[in-house]
Structures are given as structure tokens and as C-alpha cells.
Amino acid sequence: MLLAIDIGNTFIKLAVFEQNTLINKQIIPYNNWKIELKNCLKNFPKVKNIVVASVGKLENDAFSDLNPSVKVTFVDKETKFPFLNLYSTPNTLGIDRMILAAGAVLQFPNLNRLVIDAGTCITYDFIDKDDNYLGGAISPGIRLRYESLHNYTAKLPLLKKENPEKIIGNSTNQSIHSGVINGISMEIDGFINANLYENDNFIIILTGGDAEFLAERLKNTIFANPNFLLESLNQTFQYNQQ
């Protein structure tokens, strides 16, 4: 068994895999992550390998006091990936985006792929059918947009995500919901349409914490999988073991 750990900007995700089958998943806060991790290892004693990817606040030495019988592997820029990185600034490319690209290549060979990760930020990553990583885009996610409207204005309230009743909001709250949710939906559809116009033989993968919320609002046909990063992390580990 393998335990995959995704250390994000807001939460830490733990996923136990038996080969390529997801057995268990937890989303935990930073404040008690070590306790939850040790409980997970206690509940799944067959886990002998941990693979970690981080864009968050934990350093590698935070894992130094775990059971020495469990090997910890960190995915970083030195890890072998199944694509050619053609980003003009490869050292600045986030490890989460590289793992998503790896998963797209390993799960969907010989296709043009657009991976959309709807989390704290929304990232777009394009990998062509010849396994060249070409780049993408980064924009604020749902929570960041709500918070920015509240934090950088004098009177707009801080709202939680909610599907707008209609495109034209008839109150301040409904106007905010329309601007944030419809704005993001139209942005994502716009990126998809632009890529579909330029490429055929194409698959669009939507993942991240807001994937299921957004999937039903999009006009384009997508493959929605909120666990795609964790699955890709597992597959990247397996790829490097071969």
C-alpha cells in the first residue's frame, strides 16, 4: 500500500492506494496534520511507502519522526516525469502542475490534454499528444475571488460560494455570486473553447476542490475527477519505481 500526501495552500490531503485503487481519502487542516497522519498509518499498517508533494507550508524534515519502516519519497523538480517540459521558466513551474501533467500523460496517452485544477487558484495546463508540456494559465479560485471582493472594498460582504439564481443578480449578494461563479464558469469554458478550436483529439480534465461544484455549470464535455491530483501523485511514484 502507498500513502499519497498532497500538501496544498489550504488543506492537506491523504490518500491510501492499493496499486491504482484509491482505498481511503482524508482532507485535514494544518493544525493537527501530524496526529491525523499517524492515525492513518495506524489504520493502514500495510502502508510501506509515502509519497509527498507540497506547494504549502510544510518542510521535508516535518516527516523525519515517522516510523522508520515507512519510506518517505518527496516529488520535486529532480523527479523523473513522463513529459518534456517546454515551459520557458521550468524552475518556476509548480510541482502540483507537473504532477497533474504527469497523470494526464500516463492516464490518457496519445491525446492533447488540458488539465484544469480548481482549487485556491485555478490552473490550466496543456500537454500535447506528443507529451510536450507547453504551459497554461493561473487565475484566482472561487474562495480568493469572494475574499478579494470583501477585503479590497469598503462595504461588500464576505460570502460563501453559492450557485447564483440567475445571470443578472437583483441584490448585492446575488450580484457577487453571479460575478464570481458565472465569471469563473465563463472563463473555464472560454479556455476550453480556445483550445478545442486550435486542437483536435482532445480531452479536458477538471479536478480540485471545486471541480464537482463547477462541473455541472460548464457547457463543454469534461472529465471531472476531484481526486486526479492524488491519483497522479500515485502514478508518478509508480512510474519512478519502474
Q: What are the residue numbers of the active site?
A: 96
- Does residue 41 sit in helix, strand or coil? helix
DSSP string computed for 195-233: HHHH-SSEEEEEESTTHHHHHTT-SS--EE-TTHHHHHH
How crowded is the C-beta side of 179, counted as CA atoms within 13 Å? Answer: 16
Q: What is the dihedral of CA 159, 141, 37, 76, to 10 degrees?
A: -160
Q: Is the dihedral of CA 119, 122, 123, 126 positive or negative?
A: positive
Closest CA to 45 of 84, 11, 1, 87: 1
State the Cα–Cα distance between residues 204 and 54, nearest whole angstrom.
Answer: 24
Q: Is the dihedral of CA 123, 127, 85, 108 positive or negative?
A: positive
Distances, alpha carbon 212 to alpha carbons 187, 222, 226, in Å:
16, 11, 7
State the Cα–Cα distance between residues 47 and 231, nearest whole angstrom.
Answer: 16
Residue in the block written with cell 469554458: 189
Q: Are 62 and 74 in contact (CB under 8 A)?
A: no
